Amino acid sequence: MANSFYTPTQVAQEFVHLLEQELVLGSAVGVDLSDEFKMNGSTVYVRRQMQYLGQDNNIDLTSYTEDVTEGTVAVSMNKTWSNKVSVGALDRSLSFDRWSEQVILPMARRAAEKIETSIAALYSKFYHFTGTPGTAPSTVLELAEAGAYMTDVGIPVGGRLGFLSPTTGAKISSAVAALNVQGRNKTALEKASLGMIGGFDNYTTAFIPTHTVGVATGTPLVNGASQSVTYATAKNTWSQTLNTDGWTNSTTGILKAGDVFTIAGVNSVHPGTKASTGRLQTFTVLADADSGAATGPAALTISPPIIISGAFQTVTAAPADNAAITVKTGTGGTGYKQGLLLDPMAITLVSRPLDIPANAGLKTSTKRGNKVVVSVSEWVDGNTLAQNMRFDVLWGNEVLDPRRGLRQTS
């Protein structure tokens, strides 16, 4: 039988510790952790932060009340990473530290890569957008301008984090002194740090997503006036349908999920003051769209919703009929890296212990870290007497508040 080095409890504790040291994007998200067991594919609902107007210059609230109507985000627990190892005689001869280096650390790295990739894939749901497609930011000024953009649209200043591609990081690093933590082992987040630039703690990561632009041809226009919605109808999805036309006729993939566009005459507003930022509101497409025949119509699912009044107002006005649409994400069919500039509340990572049947004959230990929950199970093959260990991570992630993130194209 295995010696005490290889108990599921010890292995699970080491696994979650090493996994979280490998996270970069995963270190920057809000978390929802619980010891409640969940099945793969179940759903957890997370509340989005409220936004209020309040009453100016009148302390009498007799006739003034704002209802608390929170939006909720459905997070599907549909992401898992699992592996199994057989513990042989050679493994048992190693010290636990050596076995951790040889077995647990590579496991943790693979699991962390899957989590990082799943977080990066959420980029398309962020609609604040800056940069020049095809040109990587290379100066401190460009990051500072992105920070100014975030301030204009009301993204909180404290805790901002920037995640850049290695190429962008290399271009900028010569202009700044990188953070250098001495005297101890560094986490992946510390190794990736470029330091505080433009109001962000900036990091490089290989998991920066690439967005490939749809066909994006034609002379697109808004098709129909008064296409606005209320907060009550959009509070959970933070989206709506926008009817357009003027695209190239009968084209599959005229726009792809993640394409960003502006509408003439529709500016963004500061979420507190509701004053125009002086910037055209940028909208992201949430689902691939095809154009139809004749006038090139396309019904686009977009975010943010066009809300023209109230606490959650997003724009200065609803678009006029035939208002011009301009695609901002670049040349059709071309891929561009999408740096992510985030407030910690922009994305939520939900992790739960995987529900392993009690009659499975496994000895299981579940450990909760700061970001994820992991399970390690042990059993012995009755035929070969080989000791087996199974590693499981169950999680889901979703954009919790798309108002709190910005994409910087390069």
Phi, psi for 190 (deg, rounded to 5)? -65, -40
CA angle 336/341/347 to nearest 5° reads 105
CA atoms within 13 A on the CB side of 162: 28
Measured distance CA(123)–CA(43) in Å, rounded: 21
Q: CB within 8 A of 346, min separation 6: which ones?
A: 29, 30, 126, 399, 400, 401, 402, 404, 405
pLDDT of residue 362: 87
Confidence of residue 180 (pLDDT cuts 50, 70, 90): very low
Strands 260-269 and 373-380: unpaired
* Contact in structure between 45 and 350 (CB atoms under 8 Å): no
Strands 218-222 and 240-247: antiparallel
Q: CB within 8 A of 200, min separation 6: which ones?
A: 143, 146, 147, 160, 161, 162, 341
Strands 347-352 and 30-33: parallel
388-397 mean pLDDT? 94
More confident residue, 157 or 209: 209
Structure tokens at 352: 């739960």
At residue 399, what is the residue type? V
pLDDT digits (tens, 9 = 90+) for 241-263: 999 999 999 999 999 999 999 99
Q: According to the 3-state scheme, what is the secondary structure of 301-357? A: EEECCCCCCCCCCCECCCCCCCCEEEECCCCCCCEEEEEEEECCCCEEEEEECECCC
| Closest alpha carbon to 161 in 334, 310, 30, 322 | 30
| Closest alpha carbon to 267 in 220, 213, 313, 333 | 313
**Residue 167 DSSP SS3:** helix
pLDDT of residue 139 exceeding 50: yes
pLDDT of residue 239 exceeding 60: yes
Confidence of residue 306 (pLDDT cuts 50, 70, 90): very high
- Helices and strands (H, E) in the chain, number of each type: 8, 21
pLDDT of residue 192: 59
pTM for the model stands at 0.87
pLDDT of residue 175 exceeding 60: no
Measured distance CA(163)–CA(206) in Å, rounded: 10
Measured distance CA(272)–CA(409) in Å, rounded: 27
Phi, psi for 327 (deg, rounded to 5)? -80, 130
Peptide bond into 319 cis (omega under 30): no
pLDDT digits (tens, 9 = 90+) for 352-365: 988 887 777 789 99
β-sheet bridge partners, residue 352: 394
Confidence of residue 31 (pLDDT cuts 50, 70, 90): confident
Measured distance CA(32)–CA(208) in Å, rounded: 23
CA angle 202/305/68 to nearest 5° reads 90
| Closest alpha carbon to 188 in 174, 205, 202, 172 | 205
| Closest alpha carbon to 337 in 213, 214, 208 | 208
**Residue 6 DSSP SS3:** helix
pLDDT of residue 227: 98
Average pLDDT over all residues of the chain: 88
275-294 mean pLDDT? 97
| Closest alpha carbon to 392 in 113, 16, 7, 2 | 16
User: How far, CA to CA in Å, does 195 sit from each of 132, 178, 179, 358?
Assistant: 23, 5, 5, 48
At residue 403, what is the residue type? R
Question: What does DSSP assign to residue 284?
Answer: E
